[in-house]
Structure 1
Amino acid sequence: MRASLAGALLALLLVAAFLTGRFAATPEPAPPAALPPEPASLEPEESRTIAVFRAARDSVVAITTRTRVVDPFTRRTGETPLGSGSGFLWDAAGHVVTNDHVIQRASRAVVQLADGRSLEARVIGRDPTHDLAVLRIEGQDLPAPLPRPEAGEGLEVGQSVLAIGNPFGLDWTLTTGIVSALDRELPGDGGRAIRGLIQTDAAINPGNSGGPLLDARGRLVGVNTAIFSPSGASAGIGFAVPVATVARVVPQLIETGRYSPPSLGLGFDARINAAVNRQGLSGALVLEVAPGSQAARAGVEPARVARGRLLPGDVVVAIDGTPVENLDDLLALVDRRRAGEAVTVTLSRGGRLREVELELIEGR
């Protein structure tokens, strides 16, 4: 009786457990969460940036320099690391363009290519006035030079630009930005300003010097040369020498080892002219006219000294209509031209203005 009652109760409990789900079958595991969708395709701007970097990367080089030192105790000569910078291939002959300050005090320079090769480089020419220099490397299958815009194509503020270099030794770094301003100037070698610079917010840091600034089509538009930063790191204000200047300077460096700007055939003196400007006279005071020169034939008269006093002659106050406030202005305007070009020179003498046409000659 008790056994049958116990069995009946057990049966009722089993039925209740079944009905309440206490002994329900183990549920199937939940399906895994759906994977996130595949990344969206690249935006056109991203694709262009990637393509430009891939096309230009091999043409950019890293430059390390060393300098000779003499042990003060043993008097033995050795070498010590000096610094590093960037550069890029200019032509198929292995000429590499960089900044002059990158190799300024170097006794030896080594160029590292993107494929890992390290090649000894020799200095071909330097131009401190534009902070440009040319090295040359020799080897098989050297990278192709960077393409350049057609002559006459200009940059616009707001245009996209890319910088490739080796900031802080981090090889082949890409940064992007825009052209922030044009025709900037910075103090240069010997106190003479470097003019006509491109200002960009593409991050430029120590080690980027000498690397290329490219447009959105991968063409060379400048050579990164300096930054403005109280801390020494990028503050969004970088400067580059425009390609038009590079195209004037580099061929001369390759051919002669130095850059000689064209000349009006007139003589000037920076200290005397600065003193004259401080007295309120604008322009560039002519101090010398070569006898028989085109300037002499045009009647240009230099200043002269009489009874211990400087008697002004002609003062250059404009070139092709662009005002000349001082000698630096004159040199900058002439520097943008080539020998053989004719320019209209506005002269002032005794308060009277006149114009003469002079042909620029090869500088010395």
Structure 2
Amino acid sequence: MRLIPAPATIFLAGLLSLLCTAATAAADYLSFATEDEANSTEIFSKASPAVVFVTNKTLRQDFFSLDIHEIPRGNGSGFVWDKSGLIVTNFHVIAGAHRVTVTLHDQQEYAAEVVGIAPEKDLAVLRISEPPKDLVTLPIGDSSELNVGRKVLAIGNPFGLDTTLTTGVVSALGREIKAPSNRTIRGVIQTDAAINPGNSGGPLLNSLGQLVGVNTAIYSPSGASAGIGFAIPVNTVRDVVPQLIAYGKILRPSLGIERASDRWIRRNRIQGLPVVRVFPGSPAAAAGIRGAYRNARGEIMLGDVITRIGDREIRSNDDFLSVLEQHEPGDSLTLELRRGRDKRLATVTLADSH
């Protein structure tokens, strides 16, 4: 047997140790190169079971056979709100659906009923019957604590690819976007986390794994992510979802008036919001507000025009409804009105709109 000189033995032992150290370091690197990667992986692992795939199906008649077929209209994402089987998604994901299905993380598909919709906030609540007992929910965060630069993570199903993670930061706060109802959604979160078609309705999470928003829209000339995505803040979601569950819609206090349409206002170049009709026994009637009326010659005359509520200028229905959403029944509002060439003030106590 040939003996290896001691220096060679030492060299081989050192080389073997170096290779082992390199292998261990490589394994550690492949596991988590940084603390940020470890954080992203942990959040995705815990949150992804709560994210669902929502499919919107509609009916279409065959042009030749006249047979009615059910076809996919679109799809998006959503997330489990509670263990009873309630799911939150975007309104535009399920708009116009004949049937809605929800696919959970385990690929089990469930028929879903629409519990409530809020087109003005682009939110909807669905319910699946007989949900599994092991449903996973997301911890709810506070969107008022967000700052520009904070890390956020979006989970969804872009282009039908299930449970995809993208990461980024809060790019801006307080943005405004248009809802499907053409209402303005205010206080929106802007993020550079990639949001693509199919991500809509999925959760936006902070670095603690808490829900801070619902991904809802992108700004993109091409239709794909251009690094500008928008999410409805979770504080808005917390206000809206309980109303959708209880009433099927958002409840706002009532003034008891019928208003002119924004199109009519623009066409006639009216500065303010014209009152078309005042309902008998309403707060507006009690305050002496007057709607449109016919004069002695039978001509329709403009009634009161709301120009301001408190310190907020009113130019459209969106302005008017945005003010009401900030108040409760029983609150008193001071309205500035224009009646012909005269200006007047009216104090109105808001009523319940149930």
Asked if structure 1 preserves the Cα contact closer than 8 Å seen for 2:291 and 2:302, the reply is no
Are the structure 2 counterparts of residues 196 and 305 from structure 1 closer, same or farther at C-alpha, using a change threshold of 3 Å?
Answer: farther
- Match in the other structure for 1:344: 333
Q: Paired residue for 2:213?
A: 222
- 8 Å Cα contact 1:273/1:327 also seen in 2: no
**Aligned equivalent of 2:325:** 335
Give the drift of 1:165: 0.4
The TM-score, its normalising length taken from structure 1, stands at: 0.78
Q: Is the 8 A contact 1:94 1:142 kept in 2?
A: no
Question: Within the alignment, does 1:140 sit opposite 2:129 as a pair?
Answer: no
- Kept in 2, the 8 Å contact 1:265–1:361? The answer is no
Instruction: Give 1:353 deviation, angstroms.
Output: 5.8
Are 1:82 and 2:77 counterparts? Answer: no
Does residue 297 of structure 2 align to residue 297 of structure 1? no
Q: 2:55 aligned to 39, 64, 74, which one?
A: 64
- Which among 52, 62, 71 is matched to residue 43 of structure 2? 52
Conserved 8 A contact 2:153-2:204: yes
Deviation at 1:108, TM superposition (A): 2.9
CA distance in 1, matches of 2:188, 2:199: 16
For residues 318 and 43 of structure 1, the distance between their equivalents in structure 2, rounded to whole angstroms, comes to 53
Cα distance in 1 for partners of 2:72, 2:279 equals 48
Partners of 1:298 and 1:159 in 2: CA distance: 48
- Give the letter aligned to residue 170 of structure 1: L
Q: 1:336 to 1:136 in 2, by over 3 A?
A: same
Residues 65 and 157 (structure 1 numbering): CA distance in 2 closer, same or farther, change over 3 Å?
same
Aligned counterpart for 2:266 among listed residues 248, 260, 274:
274
**Equivalent in the alignment of 1:8:** none
The structure number with the bigger radius of gyration is 1
Q: What are the within-5 Å matches in structure 2 for residues 157-236 of structure 1? A: 157-236=148-227
Q: Do 2:190 and 2:229's aligned partners in 1 also have CA atoms closer than 8 Å?
A: yes
Shift of 1:231: 1.0
Mean Cα deviation higher: 43-52 or 116-125 = 43-52
Confirm or deny: 8 A CA contact 2:307 2:313 kept in the other structure. no
- Residue 326, structure 1, aligned to residue 316, structure 2: yes
- Report the 3-state secondary structure (helix = DSSP H, G, I; strand = E; otherwise coil) of the residue aligned with 1:197: strand
Q: Is the 8 A contact 2:188 2:232 kept in 1?
A: yes
- Matched residues, percent identical? 44
Q: Alpha carbons of 1:305 and 1:245: their partners in 2 closer, same or farther (altered >3 Å)?
A: farther
Q: How much is the aligned-residue C-alpha RMSD, in angstroms?
A: 3.1
Q: Quick check: 301-310 or 225-234, which moved more? A: 301-310
Counterpart of 1:274, as a letter, is: R
| Cα offset, 1:240, TM superposition | 1.6
Shift of 1:202: 1.2
Quote how far apart the aligned CAs of 1:210 are: 0.8
Query: How big is the shift at 1:265?
Result: 2.3
Structure 2, unaligned stretches of length 5 or more?
A: none
Q: 1:243 to 1:263 in 2, by over 3 A?
A: farther
**Does the C-alpha gap of structure 1 residues 80 and 354 become closer, same or farther in structure 2, counting only changes over 3 Å?**
closer
- Residue 347 of structure 1 deviates from its aligned partner by 1.0
Contact 2:43 2:207 in 1 (8 A): yes
Give the CA deviation at 1:67. Answer: 2.8
TM-superposed deviation, 1:312: 4.5
Give 1:111 deviation, angstroms.
1.8
Does residue 358 in structure 1 map to residue 349 in structure 2?
yes
CA 50–263 in structure 1, closer or farther in 2 if over 3 Å, else same = farther
Contact 2:258 2:278 in 1 (8 A): yes
Structure 1 position 360, deviation (Å)? 4.6
Change over 3 Å in CA distance of 1:218–1:174 after alignment to 2: same
Residues 222 and 267 of structure 1: CA distance in aligned 2, closer, same or farther (over 3 Å): same
Q: 1:184 to 1:263 in 2, by over 3 A?
A: farther
